[in-house]
Chains A and B, each alone.
Chain A
Amino acid sequence: MIDFAVKNAWLVVALPFLSALIITFFTKTNPLLSSRISRLAIFIALIQSTLIGIASISDIQYVIKNSAGSLRWFTSGDVNFYISWKVDSTTALMIFVVTLISFLVQLYSREYMGEYINKGNSFSRYYAELSLFSFSMLLLVFTDNFLVLYAGWELVGVSSFLLIGYFYDKKSAAVAAKKAFLANRVGDFGFLLGILLVFTYTGTLNFDVAANQIAEGKLSGSILTISAILLFFGAIGKSGQFPLHVWLPDAMEGPTPVSALIHAATMVAAGVYMVAKIMTIFAQAEFPALLGMNALDFVALIGGITAIMAAFIAVTQNDIKKILAYSTVSQLGFMMLALGMYTTDVSHIHPVGYTAAIFHLFTHAFFKAMLFLCSGSVIHACHTQDIWEMGGLRKKMPITAITCLIGTAAISGFPLTAGFWSKDALLDSMIIANKFYFILASIAATLTAFYMFRLYFVTFEGEYRGHGHPHEPGWRMKFPLIFLSIPSLLIGFVGTPWANYFGHFITYIPVVSHQVEEHHHGPNFLVMGTSLLIFIVGFGLAFILYGKGNYNKANELSEKLKGLYKASLNKLYFDEIYQYFIDNFILVLAKVSALFDKFGLDLIVNGVSQFFVYLGNLIRQLHNGKVQHYLLGVIVALLLMIFSYTNYLKIVEYKNYILLGLLILFVLFIIKDIGEKVINNLKNKFLS
């Protein structure tokens, strides 16, 4: 059984794809059947990935050896391009997370989207798109080469676009979908350039081979650093990092289960996953090419900015999903920050935050998906997303409230929950590598605890301020919540500092083995104390300001810190700045290039066609219907024939000149004759 699952690992990818195809082409008109096919496919994939996971834990070498495979895609010149895949420990982890959350979300969606069953094909479309997303994401994590990674990368972008714009008749959703796609394109362009650079220098697209080629020196120095940074641009776009984070909060226009799956747990983690997967390339890019930064410094900088900025914005948001979205951005920033943490050891870079980042990715997937599903449950019940129109929901929806509390505790780092251990690992890596980022991350984590508990208190405590009668959802929505609360609480124990099973499962393996300083030095109580302090400060602040159902203090505080409050509420004016930039630079540039297109390219293209039209008109004039002109043509042709086929004239040596002269004369005649006509036509046109 396990053997079969490992040797046919590609089935995990193929099943959701098959389901998407079947729904699209056959069962589109039957929404319930479509949803069942989709859930069945992802459930089988889940079982298989669980089996693969079990096999990986017991013997990872066996899995790597037996799961790999490849298909030749196309050949260009001497280079073959393969669709190749390989399951290593990171991939095994990711496919488990992806299939599990996909399955739970699909189950949840059956009830959440229930009102759309009878609305044409939209329910089937939803499930087809979910299946397509699962396929794309699994393809992305399965592959071991850049080309297929890029294909999957774009495919998840497309699925995300489709699902954000699921309510495409709503203008904001359509705009948000477009925004997400365009913001991603900006990052993907850099990603593509990075891939092309790596391919140009190393001649391969395989991660491991490319890393080995780089170690041999085929790509080094500033070019390597720039390639790595360009590759990281992809991650910036996809994971909503600092300059391109603007699309992720807007992406909340999509259905909430989609937000849980794509914009919290899986797709946005693809950037982190990608950086981790090709960490061997990043770690070799040690040449400080960009303002004295090497590739990992850049990663850390972007991650750090994102973490603190998103946390700051999340503090004042009023939309439950927007808070969670900024929280996601912030947490992804944490992961990036951890990935950028390294120690240098005789010119070898060792990324100390590697394991911690993936661990946080792993735990975050569970509790963030759960938080989103909770918010979905709340929205489903209250028909609003504004937290100020909720409140007191704990009594009406106890299960949702408890699971949400668990998620909030986990993300805030309440001791012994999943988030506590992973955040602990993150901070641990930072205190080893860079104290400044440690302080920064601590502040961001404090803000996280604060705004998450603010969300919890405002939504579930106090008095109900909405209209309607909220109630608990059905089992299909409750089951994923309860199921996910278990790993949110307990999964952290696989990676405690005392017994770090996770750290043994996923470790950074450098290309060139060198003496690595042992970092598994046991628990760091300074870090643990800090993280406890973080939780207490964040929680305490939230409790004082929002805990009692009385928000006067919060309002007073916002009045006192009006500047900061406004900046945070308006998302630091990113959208406005981008709008200004687009209006004043991009659009002007576009207009200039439109002018070039109109007067440069069109002139050439139309000029070519106009030239031949004119030539045709010129020659058409020969057929003017006048017998005399035809007769002249006959005579000219006769003369040409006589001159060219006979040589009795004894002027052989001048024959060609005579021929040429006759031809030139005739052509001159035509041009003159026609020129007069053209002039006459023009005269008639303009004078009449």
Chain B
Amino acid sequence: MSITLYHYLILAAILFCIGIYGILTSKHAVRVLMSIEIAFAGVSINLVAFSNYITPGTLAGQIFTLFIMTVSAAEAGVALAIIFNIYKNFRTVDIDKIDLMKR
């Protein structure tokens, strides 16, 4: 049995779910960022697989994956800056403690 699109999609789904699970259960802000990166990786696999199997030759999916990388890098940079700020203000990166939305 050859490897088909479905295999890649299910792998992507697994990665995405692991990422979401990580976002939900991480207490450390940096680990949340890591989880987000994992979820991004899942999505990227999805796009590359589609690009390869459904629209071979156009490479639109790979281009979009590159954009995702760009955006995730930018996001990671800004998010880390925010985390620094939070750490400076609260002396903690426990996102359970940072519940300013409640007030």
Contacts and interface: CB of A to CB of B under 8 A. Distances in A.
A632 B21 CA distance: 9
Contacts of A627: 95, 101
Interface stretch (A74-82, A526-534, A597-605, A618-626): A618-626
Contact of B23 (A623, A625, A626, A631): A631
A274 to B, nearest CB: 70
Interface in B53-103: 95-96, 99-103
A625 B24 contact: no
A635 B25 CA distance: 14
Size range of the interface on B? 10 to 19
B24 A624 contact: no
Interface of A: 623-628, 631-632, 635
Contacts of B100: 625
B17 to A, nearest CB: 10
A624 B20 contact: no
Given A625-B99, A625-B102, 14 more contacts: A623-B102, A624-B102, A625-B100, A625-B101, A626-B95, A626-B101, A626-B102, A627-B101, A628-B25, A628-B95, A631-B23, A631-B24, A635-B20, A635-B24
Task: Decide if the interface of chain B is mainly helix, strand, loop or mixed.
Answer: helix
A305 B100 CA distance: 82
Contacts of A624: 99, 102
A628 B23 contact: yes
A411 to B, nearest CB: 85
A19 to B, nearest CB: 66
Task: Decide if the interface of chain A is mainly helix, strand, loop or mixed.
Answer: helix
24 contacts: A623-B102, A624-B99, A624-B102, A625-B99, A625-B100, A625-B101, A625-B102, A625-B103, A626-B95, A626-B96, A626-B99, A626-B101, A626-B102, A627-B95, A627-B101, A628-B23, A628-B24, A628-B25, A628-B95, A631-B23, A631-B24, A632-B24, A635-B20, A635-B24
Contacts of A623: 102
A339 B80 CA distance: 103
Contacts of B24: 628, 631-632, 635
Nearest to B20: A635
A627 B82 CA distance: 15
- 7 closest cross-chain pairs (CB), A and B: A625-B102, A625-B99, A625-B101, A628-B24, A626-B99, A632-B24, A624-B102
Contacts of B95: 626-628
A626 B32 CA distance: 13
A379 to B, nearest CB: 75
A631 B25 CA distance: 11
Interface string B6-36: 0000000000000010011100000000000
Nearest to B96: A626
